Structure 1
């Protein structure tokens, strides 16, 4: 029987998601009101009956470690586990991970204990639902040494992705990284017989983009990493295409890279739309996360539209539209949120703590009375005072870092644990 070991690449400093990654690893960033980004690849692995999973990370891993330890507990009969492998110093190695490939290379001593026949390598910052068993079946049936998950994209999207050239049988023969619009890539179009989706074809999605997910025969991965090359996408995969049998697995479901603030924001907000692009309500392939045993959200006299509210929140006499309300969020009367992601709180404040807040002149955790917020991300445990106006008034807002808040692609981001005094205008 095949022994498939799953490796989730937790990323480096996560600079594209800063300041959400200021105090946590990228896979630990809250998502969809109650989840973490890392829950997506792990859930896909579990639903695909691939339950031996390592998460590779090296920055701010405490929050991630706590989430995994509380969430993914397998019984002794399943032989399953979810473990973090953070960068470590040994007598042989004293350096940090230098890239995705280097991170895998340095952990072979840990992987080899499991005696895998194959590896599946996944990204920690994408939203999708995939049965990896189908991808593995393609790998075996095609007698490939490496299989790359790919998805059809249009010419504009191709400028930000790695584009693959495949023959009529799906074998990959070349790879072009982020081709600019002025470069002719007609020769990279998906062969007519290979394109699996007529609707995508009609929409101009005729180029095959790498999704950054790979299946390797175990011995092939070790051979391909027997060098000093640091990155899979930029170095290992192009090298493999030249010398190995590399197959494409074409995926036509929803897939989104959510590695930037803009993509993170838009993908979250879309979850609350009438017909979201990604369906969290699939009971056959659920997305798992930590069970918090919180009460249902209480909504008192609110105007609540096209929004999601995670458990444990209390929202009173507020107007909430096109927003995601995270766990334990307290929203006071008169507030108006439009296009806002609130990540919630890690605990409730006691009456004594709220009294102390009054004495110290600081707001409670949550959203204060009469506060209006538009197009913003409010990270965990933020204290937004009364009468604040964030992103509401007409004014110039340039991207940048401004102490208590940051602006990325026109989106205001309030970092974790920030205090915004009453009456603040941003």
Structure 2
């Protein structure tokens, strides 16, 4: 599913949809669910899109190409108006419903619904195996979360055999949360063997049989899986939980996106991009290696094509074709890079137009920031969110969740000082 507006990720989603947002210097968010599918032997994939989808479409078309013998595909199904309907996708369930005629579903087919904005690695073949062994109509992947962290999540109560018996959306009452705490054999499955109480939160990952999928979507007034369709089927369908005990992060806000990227610079990060048995696939760009001209770095991820002059980098994620000029210091910065290398004639044109070159200019100090693609930051700038109110905004900058964002393609004039 890649159709949401992603308003909580603004301004990163101003010109692109959530699944197209760059991740970990080399990838895009959509690469995670697609890679999980391919590594699990699933190669017939539909991507449902609606808002700001041009860059997502380009990325998928350039990346996921299959030979003609494996019958695999990654097809894009964009929202469309037809002679029969004039509305766009009204929710996750409505998006799937509007495209039912494309799937050619048989009753015994299995249909897996994934979100396009989560970071995790899951064996989806194991999920399907449990679904079949339990003779389930619907299986929902669930993450065990500490009970004091579930007030903003959809929480489920399960029987000892993991059959789901109740859903509670965003519980706030401590007594209700206490009643949802995992126990018995289900609690014993978790790797944390302490006495800490856990609840099962829905990950928004659903597995249906083809027949149940059609039945579930028959009521056109129900437009969302999590809020309407799934709770409405609880009494009539055999609904099971698949307990996932690995790393999972819902990258739905600017703050979570920024922190999730920076945790990847840890000596042993919570998500392993170096797992050659379960690789994360992305577009092959055929770029030259990164080039460091005297730079000093500590805990840095750096993509191909980056050029860093004599600068200091601490806890940074540096994207493809990034350019950081001498004398600059970056701390806790996610820099997404650029779409092109600027050649000498481009630099001469920039000079004539009086605008900075793409990248970070000389002698800048940037802290706690996200620098979106193709941004131009002039020499001598000082950028920090410190002291600025939430949602403070200019044409080039935006503050959200304690992070200052340099917008995509923005121009920050030389000598700009923002924050403390």
What band does the TM-score fall into relative to the shorter chain?
over 0.9
SS of the residue corresponding to residue 226 of structure 1 reads coil
The answer to whether residue 70 in structure 2 is matched with residue 70 in structure 1 is no
**Alignment correspondent of 2:309:** 316
Deviating more after overlay: 86-95 vs 376-385: 86-95
Aligned residue number for residue 237 of structure 2: 244
**How far did 1:84 drift?**
1.1
1:211 corresponding residue in structure 2: 203
Residue 98 of structure 2 corresponds to residue 106 of structure 1: yes
Whole-angstrom CA distance in 1 between matches of 2:358 and 2:255: 25
Match runs of 1:220-239 below 5 Å: 220-227=212-219, 228-239=221-232
Matched position secondary structure for 2:287: coil
2:355 pairs, out of 356, 362, 369, with 362
Range moving further from structure 2, 11-20 or 360-369: 11-20
Shift of 1:11: 3.2
Q: Give the counterpart of 2:27 among 20, 35, 50.
A: 35
- Give the secondary-structure state (helix, strand or coil) at the position aligned to 1:180: coil
Q: What TM-score do you get using the length of structure 2 for normalisation?
A: 0.97
Per-residue CA deviations over 1:216-275 (Å, capped at 9, x if unaligned) read 011101101101201011111111112110011001010010111111010000001112
Question: Which one of the candidate residues 51, 71, 77 is aligned to 1:79?
Answer: 71
The yes-or-no answer on 1:283 pairing with 2:276 is: yes
Greater shift, 192-201 or 414-423, is seen at 192-201
Conserved in 1, the CA contact under 8 Å of 2:181 and 2:197?
A: no
User: Contact 1:155–1:181 (CA<8 Å) still a contact in 2?
Assistant: no
Contact 1:166 1:191 (C-alpha < 8 Å) held by counterparts: no
**Distance change >3 Å, CA 423–CA 367, structure 1 → 2:** same
SS at match of 2:126: helix
Q: In 2, Cα distance between the equivalents of 1:111 and 1:354? A: 49
Matches within 5 A, 1:83-232: 83-112=75-104, 117-202=109-194, 204-227=196-219, 228-232=221-225
C-alpha separation in 2, matches of 1:80 and 1:283: 22
Kindly indicate whether the alpha-carbon contact (under 8 Å) linking 1:399 and 1:410 is maintained by their aligned counterparts in 2. no
Contact 2:107 2:211 survives alignment (8 Å): no
Supply the distance in 1 between the matched residues of 2:288 and 2:184 (Cα, whole angstroms). 53
> Could you tell me the TM-score, scaled by structure 1's length?
0.95
Aligned residue for 1:11, secondary structure, equals coil
Are the structure 2 counterparts of residues 191 and 111 from structure 1 closer, same or farther at C-alpha, using a change threshold of 3 Å? same
Paired residues of 2:4 and 2:51 also in contact (CA < 8 A): yes
Distance 2:252 2:7 in 1: 9
Partner of 1:412: 404
Checking the alignment, whether the CA contact within 8 Å between 2:191 and 2:245 is kept in structure 1 is no
3-state SS in 2 of match to 1:320: strand
Q: Please list every run of at least 4 consecutive aligned residues from structure 1 whose deviation after the TM superposition is greater than 6 angstroms.
A: 113-116
Instruction: Report if aligned partners of 2:120, 2:246 keep a CA contact under 8 Å in 1.
Output: yes
CA root-mean-square deviation: 1.4
Distance 1:356 1:418 in 2: 17
Q: Deviations over 1:171-215 (max 9, x none)?
A: 000100111154432222223112244543526252111110010
2-structure distance, mates of 1:269, 1:417? 22
Offset of 1:113 from its aligned partner?
Answer: 6.7
Q: Would the alpha carbon gap of residues 396 and 34 (structure 1) be closer, same or farther in structure 2, given more than 3 Å must change?
A: same
Deviation, 1:404, is 1.4
2:368 matched residue in structure 1: 375
Structure 1 equivalent of residue 10 of structure 2: 18
Question: Which residue number in structure 2 is paired with residue 269 of structure 1?
Answer: 262
| Per-residue deviation, 1:114 | 8.2
Q: 1:338 aligns with which of 322, 331, 344?
A: 331
Q: Equivalent residue of 1:235, what SS?
A: helix
Asked whether the 8 Å contact 2:303–2:319 carries over to 1, the reply is: yes
Aligned mates of 1:373, 1:82 — CA distance in 2: 39
Partners in 1 of 2:359 and 2:292 — Cα distance?
15
The alpha-carbon distance between structure 1 residues 399 and 181, as it changes in their structure 2 partners (threshold 3 A), is: farther
CA drift of 1:29 comes to 0.5
Give the C-alpha shift of residue 403 in structure 1.
Answer: 2.4
Task: Give the aligned partner of residue 254 of structure 1.
Answer: 247
Aligned residues: 417
2:290 maps to what in 1? 297
Alpha-carbon distance in 1 for matches of 2:94, 2:18: 18
CA distance in 1: counterparts of 2:89 and 2:387, whole angstroms: 43
